[in-house]
């Protein structure tokens, strides 16, 4: 004889409710949500930082990447990191406001070094920046004109091998104040890159003369350089380099400039020396 319908339903209900419900799925989603949120935050900061560089490059050299090598490089970096095209175009479109909104901030770094932070004032993350500087013990400094100087930097490529003496002769003929040898191959087609420094008012004339000397211009723009450099001991240098790396990762930071002198033969100390600072 078949069991009554009520008994069958009761047995089915007991089978369904046996055992406590598992929370494994909930735990997995919590972990996924935590990691996803962290990655999304890092991704947003990366896009903001790269967009700020595009904005600064477009403001300094114009909105056309074909005529602005610095902008072309910034756009290429954005594409390599899968920044949406709409974000790139919006950064270029807002370039007119970039120069006026940029902020310069100087801090005292390890060993008495000076670190200058150029940030995008329109979207600067002041909270994270202040927190980082506080954790690393970097104290704010006033920004006197004697600490900084503006110089035009022209990057050019030599189609033939050239040594420092020949590069100096080209610099003198073009009216530049100084020249630095860049890395081989950075000039494109395996050529030698040369970096010429001059007064901002001489940027156009020096660029034209360099082209007359047979050099191919790669990019140009006006940048800030410290007037004096300082040598650090190994431990101080390690702390300063860590701080500079973290500053470059902050959202809204466009450039980080310092006056730390490159070590020569393991030289240690904190004596100051004349000369321009190195850009990070």
Reported as a single tens digit per residue, the pLDDT across 112-125 is 888 888 887 655 45
Give the model's pLDDT for residue 267. Answer: 44
| Domain range annotation of the chain | 41-93, 100-144+227-279, 148-223
pLDDT at 3 over 80: no
CA distance linking residue 118 with residue 65, whole number of Å: 22
Are 247 and 195 in contact, with CB atoms under 8 Å apart? no
Q: How confident is the model at residue 34 (pLDDT cuts 50, 70, 90)?
A: low
pTM, to two decimals? 0.56
Domains 100-144+227-279 and 148-223 share a fold: yes
Q: What is the mean pLDDT of residues 101-114?
A: 83
Q: What is the mean pLDDT of the chain?
A: 76
Which pLDDT tens digit goes with each residue over 125-159?
Answer: 566 778 888 888 888 887 656 667 888 889 898 88
Q: What is the mean pLDDT of residues 77-84?
A: 90
Give the model's pLDDT for residue 175. Answer: 93
Give the model's pLDDT for residue 181. Answer: 87
Nearest Cα neighbor of 55 from 92, 80, 96 is 92
Which pLDDT tens digit goes with each residue over 245-261?
Answer: 988 888 778 888 888 88
Are 36 and 67 in contact, with CB atoms under 8 Å apart? no
Are 162 and 213 in contact, with CB atoms under 8 Å apart? no
Strand ranges across the sheet with 216-226: 178-184, 192-198, 148-158, 216-226
pLDDT at 10 over 70: no
CB-based contacts of 146: which residues, under 8 Å, 6+ apart? 227
Nearest Cα neighbor of 196 from 255, 61, 211 is 211
Which pLDDT tens digit goes with each residue over 164-208?
Answer: 899 999 999 999 999 988 766 555 555 788 999 998 888 888 989
CA 236 → CA 233, 240, 255, 262, distances in Å? 5, 6, 21, 13
Q: Which helix (H) or strand (E) holds 257?
A: strand 253-258
Q: What is the mean pLDDT of residues 97-122?
A: 78
CA distance linking residue 276 with residue 229, whole number of Å: 7
Give the model's pLDDT for residue 2. Answer: 52
Give the model's pLDDT for residue 35. Answer: 64
66, 182, 174, 60 alpha-carbon torsion, rounded to 10°:
40
- Domain 100-144+227-279: top CATH class: alpha beta
- Domain 41-93: top CATH class: mainly alpha
Give the model's pLDDT for residue 162. Answer: 86
Which range, of 68-82, 98-112, 257-271, averages the lowest pLDDT? Answer: 257-271
CA distance linking residue 222 with residue 241, whole number of Å: 25
Q: How confident is the model at residue 270 (pLDDT cuts 50, 70, 90)?
A: very low
pLDDT at 102 over 60: yes
Give the model's pLDDT for residue 163. Answer: 87
Residue 3: how many other CB atoms lie within 10 Å: 9
Q: Which CATH architecture has domain 148-223?
A: 2-Layer Sandwich (3.30)
Q: What is the mean pLDDT of residues 3-18?
A: 53
DSSP string covering 160-187: S---HHHHHHHHHHHT-SEEEEEEETTT
Give the model's pLDDT for residue 114. Answer: 87
pLDDT at 25 over 60: no
pLDDT cut 70: percent of the chain above it: 70
């Amino acid at each position: 004889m078949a069991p009554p319908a009520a008994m069958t339903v009761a047995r089915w209900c007991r089978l369904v409710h046996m055992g406590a419900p598992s929370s494994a799925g909930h735990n997995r989603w919590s972990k996924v949500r935590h990691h996803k949120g962290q990655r999304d935050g890092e991704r947003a900061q990366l896009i903001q930082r790269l967009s700020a560089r595009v904005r600064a490059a477009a403001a300094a050299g114009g909105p056309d990447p074909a005529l602005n090598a610095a902008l072309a490089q910034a756009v290429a970096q954005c594409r390599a990191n899968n920044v949406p095209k709409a974000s790139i175009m919006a950064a270029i479109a807002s370039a007119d406001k970039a120069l006026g909104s940029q902020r310069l901030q100087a801090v005292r770094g390890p060993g008495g070094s000076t670190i200058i932070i150029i940030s995008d004032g329109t979207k600067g993350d002041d909270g994270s920046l202040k927190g980082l500087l506080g954790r690393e013990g970097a104290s704010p400094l006033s920004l006197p004109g004697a600490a900084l100087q503006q110089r035009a930097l022209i990057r050019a490529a030599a189609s033939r091998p050239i040594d420092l003496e020949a590069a100096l002769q080209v610099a003198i003929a073009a009216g530049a104040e100084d020249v630095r040898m860049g890395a081989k191959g950075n000039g494109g087609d395996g050529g030698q890159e040369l970096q010429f420094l001059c007064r901002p008012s001489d940027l156009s004339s020096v660029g034209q003369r360099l082209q007359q000397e047979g050099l191919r211009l790669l990019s140009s723009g006006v940048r800030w350089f410290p007037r004096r450099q300082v040598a650090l001991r190994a431990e101080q240098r390690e702390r300063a380099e860590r701080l500079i790396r973290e500053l470059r990762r902050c959202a809204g930071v466009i450039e980080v400039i310092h006056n730390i002198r490159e070590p020569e033969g393991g030289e240690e100390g904190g004596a100051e020396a004349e000369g321009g600072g190195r850009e990070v």
